[in-house]
């Protein structure tokens, strides 16, 4: 039974890594622009399709395809920020509903262009098997976890030390105060949006070879990523990372002792229970008088 728990934890970390990449993108954008972009999951899917396109049609190298996918998604994110989310700044309800519209439009645009069927992405380099004790995992499995941890580390260093990083943190603390101090808040907005979408593209590109690339692949990670953000405390970046991993591991472990057809409900039940008992989440700081 012990090895099953260990194996489920590793499975959970892998699934959690995808949730973390999505959650990070969403929480950064939420922090800076107070925008919750429900279309973030769809951007992960587009990232996977773009990576697949470059990998199969343009370059054979997986790493280059990931880089190209990140660049393309970055630009798409910035375009979305300027065209849709900037004008709706401050009006929460309309922003969310606009992002629901984006989900519909983008998902069915991909179906119309690439067709409804799943695409396969065979990356020989990472389909080799590696043994962990008597368990065996494909390299891609561990690659996803590894890359996510590295990205999280880089992001923390970037946020804590670099000029832009502090500007992003300042803007998310208090937009007006940041403006007064001379931080170009509007520029920070689209940089953050670009960064958030880039993280989603990375998530899509990483899980592409492991599974299939198909139009609905972004939906579940988005909802689970949301659960992670809330668990971690709305707006807290470390919270989103921890929350994402917890949701992933909890889901996998739940299959050990619960009927699996209620597996999704586990993530949501955890989220609602935590919020009832501890509304600020694990790391969230209740801003004074926050309505």
Partner 1 sequence: MASRIALVVVLLLLFAVPALAQQQPYLLHVLILCCLYAIPAVGLNLMLGYTGLVSLGHMAFAGIGAYTFAVLMVDAKMPFWLALVLGVLAAGAGGAAIGAVCLRFRTHFFMIVTLAFGLMLFSVMNNWDDVTRGAAGFPGIPRPAPLGGFSFGPLQNFYYLALGAALVAFAVQWRVARSGFGRVLMALRQDERLARAKGVNAMLYKTAVFALGSAIAGLGGVLHVSFLRVAAPATFSLAESINAVLIVIVGGAGSLAGPALGALVFVGLPEYLRVASEWRLVVFGVLLVLIMLFAPQGLSGLIESAWRRVRR
Partner 2 sequence: MSRLALVLLMMASPATWAQEKLAVGIITSLSGPMAAPGKFQMNGFRLAEEEINSGGGFTVGGRKYAIELKVYDTRANPAEGASAMQRLATVDRVPVVLGELHSGVAAAAAPVAQDYSIPLMLTIPTGPSLTEQGNRFLFRVNANNDQLTQALAEFIARQGWAPLSFIAWNNDAGRGGVNGMKKLLGEAKIGYVGYFNVGEVDFSSHVTNIRSQNARAVMLLMDEEPGSLAIKQIRDAGLKTQLVGTLAMGSDRFLKRLDAQRLDGMVQYNAFPPNANLPHIRAFSERYSKKYGEEAHGFAAQSYDGLKIAVAALQKAGKVDGAALRDALAAIEYDGVIGKVKFDAKGQAHPPVYVTQWCADGKRRILHPENLKADCGAG
Q: What angle do CA 211, 215, 216 make, to 5 degrees?
A: 75
Of the candidates 217, 16, 203, 201, which has an alpha carbon nearest to the alpha carbon of residue 119?
217
Q: Check residue 124 for interaction with partner 2 (CB under 8 A).
A: no
Least CB distance to partner 2 at residue 115 (A)? 8
Q: Please state the φ and ψ torsions of residue 129, each to the nearest 5 degrees.
A: -105, 145
Distance CA 269, CA 193 (A): 30
Q: What 3-state class would DSSP assign to 136?
A: strand
Least CB distance to partner 1 at residue 116 (A)? 8
Q: Which is nearer to partner 1, 101 or 146 (CB)?
A: 101
Residue 42's contacts (CB-CB under 8 Å, 6 or more residues apart) are 102, 103, 106, 107, 218, 222
Least CB distance to partner 2 at residue 217 (A)? 7
Name the binder of 44 from partner 1, partner 2, none, CB < 5-8 A by kind. Answer: none
Residue from 64, 67, 220, 282 touching partner 2 (CB under 8 A): that is 220
Binding string to partner 1 for residues 229 to 248, with x set by CB under 8 A, is what? -x---x--------------
Of the candidates 167, 221, 196, 275, which has an alpha carbon nearest to the alpha carbon of residue 45?
221
Name the binder of 93 from partner 2, partner 1, none, CB < 5-8 A by kind. Answer: partner 1
> Site residues (CB under 8 A) for partner 1?
30, 36, 84, 87-88, 91-98, 100-109, 111-112, 223, 226-227, 230, 234, 259, 261-262, 264-265, 268-269, 271-272, 275-276, 279, 291
């Amino acid at each position: 039974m012990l090895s099953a728990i260990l194996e489920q934890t590793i499975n959970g970390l892998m699934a959690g890594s995808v949730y973390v990449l999505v959650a990070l993108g969403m929480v950064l954008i939420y922090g800076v622009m107070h925008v919750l972009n429900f279309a973030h999951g769809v951007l992960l899917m587009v990232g996977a399709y773009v990576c697949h396109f470059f990998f199969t049609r343009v370059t054979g190298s997986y790493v280059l395809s990931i880089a190209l996918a990140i660049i393309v998604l970055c630009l798409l994110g910035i375009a979305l920020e300027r065209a849709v989310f900037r004008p709706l700044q401050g009006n929460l309800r309309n922003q969310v509903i606009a992002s629901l519209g984006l989900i519909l439009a983008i998902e069915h645009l991909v179906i119309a262009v690439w067709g409804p069927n799943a695409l396969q992405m065979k990356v020989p380099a990472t389909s080799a098997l590696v043994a962990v004790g008597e368990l065996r995992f494909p390299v891609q499995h561990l690659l996803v976890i590894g890359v996510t941890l590295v990205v999280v580390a880089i992001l923390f260093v970037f946020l804590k030390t670099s000029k832009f990083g502090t500007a992003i943190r300042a803007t998310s603390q208090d937009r007006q105060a940041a403006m007064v101090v001379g931080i170009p808040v509007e520029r920070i907005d689209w940089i953050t949006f670009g960064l958030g979408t880039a993280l989603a593209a990375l998530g899509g590109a990483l899980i592409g070879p492991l599974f299939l690339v198909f139009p609905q692949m972004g939906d579940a990670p988005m909802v689970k990523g949301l659960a992670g953000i809330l668990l971690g405390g709305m707006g807290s970046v470390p919270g989103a990372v921890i929350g994402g991993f917890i949701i992933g591991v909890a889901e996998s472990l739940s299959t050990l002792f619960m009927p699996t057809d209620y597996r999704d409900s586990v993530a949501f039940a955890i989220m609602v229970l935590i919020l009832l008992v501890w509304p600020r989440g694990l790391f969230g700081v209740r801003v004074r008088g926050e309505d």
